[in-house]
Amino acid sequence: MQAFLAILHYDLAQLTHSWLVRIWVVLLVVPAFFLVAVAANEKELASETMAAYIAAVLAPLSGLAVAILSAAAISGESGIVADSILSRSVTRTEYMAAKIISRLGFTAAIYVAVTVPFAYLVTRYAAPDATLGGVIAGLMMVGVLLVFLAALGITMSTLISNVLVAVLTVLVTVVVSGAALQFLGLNWMSTTAVIDGLPETFRGETATFDHIRVMLMFSMLTAASLGTAVFVFRRKDL
């Protein structure tokens, strides 16, 4: 347990002091305040403002940042990991558990810290066409997508030793699969379709069953990704 807590604390400290994280947060916050000001002055629809922010700012920037941070979680420290495990100062399970909790938890924390105040300000100052239930459902679905992306990045980090290749694999997989599934009409399985449908979701026009399907699907994909990552890492030659 001490090794797990030490790795968790170290990884969270590394993430907190990362310049990538700082730039990511700034690039999320500045456009958010700008859109709140525009929506308040021009009386833009709250649902359209929130959906535009997520589609044009949050999704691409967070997708790139999360892919980099998660895909570098294991392969980016391969030498340190090998020395620690071979010296038996930490077990593979402890190391993976700490990495999973820190990367997924940090991703979720940044997302909540940015989107909740933004949603509150937009619904208060923009034209109020969004429902509380719709906003909560929409933000939860996007949050699940980001957590899935982080889980997929960790999986690729255990499978691919090159960080750049792992990042590209994560991004291409998510974008291409999302576009393909949307083209086939499987919107509840498509990342791009979920984001495209956010205006209706925020207005409360999307069926509750569709929300549940999206949440369950990407929760299961997240669990499958993490299970694969742990399975591979436990059997991987260091």
pLDDT tens, residue by residue, 40-61: 998 899 999 999 999 999 999 9
Let me know: does 104 contact 15? Beta carbons within 8 Å.
Answer: no
> Could you give the C-alpha distances from 115 to 9, 178, 216, in angstroms and in order?
25, 23, 22
pLDDT at 194 over 80: yes
- For residue 227, give both structure tokens: 């299970």
Q: How confident is the model at residue 82 (pLDDT cuts 50, 70, 90)?
A: very low
Q: What is the pLDDT of residue 90?
A: 72
Mean local confidence (pLDDT), 81-106: 76
Contact between 57 and 31 (Cβ < 8 Å): yes
Q: What is the pLDDT of residue 87?
A: 52
Mean pLDDT confidence for 164-177 = 94
Report the C-alpha gap between 64 and 66 in whole angstroms. Answer: 6
| Number of neighbours of residue 225 by Cβ within 10 angstroms | 22
Mean pLDDT of the chain: 90
How far, in Å, CA of 67 to CA of 149, rounded?
Answer: 7
Q: Which residues contact 120 (CB under 8 A, 6 or more apart)?
A: none
Tokens of 165: 């290749």
Q: How far is it, in rounded angstroms, from Cα 34 to Cα 43?
A: 14
Instruction: Tell me the C-alpha distance between 50 and 199, whole Å.
Output: 8
pLDDT top residue among 76 and 204: 204
Q: What is the DSSP letter of 127?
A: B
What pLDDT sits at residue 84? 54
φ, ψ of residue 45 to 5 degrees: the values are -70, 135
Confidence of residue 161 (pLDDT cuts 50, 70, 90): confident
Angle between helices 132-159 and 92-125 (to 10 degrees): 150
pLDDT tens-digit map of 129-149: 999 999 999 999 999 999 999
pLDDT band (50, 70, 90) for residue 80 = low
> What is d(CA 234, CA 238) in angstroms, rounded to the nearest whole number?
10
The predicted-structure confidence for 96-130, as pLDDT tens digits, reads as follows: 899 999 999 999 999 999 999 999 999 999 998 99
pLDDT at position 86: 46
Which pLDDT score, from 0 to 100, does residue 93 have?
83
d(Cα 223, Cα 157) in Å, to the nearest integer? 16
pLDDT at 108: 96
pLDDT category of residue 78 using cuts at 50, 70 and 90: low
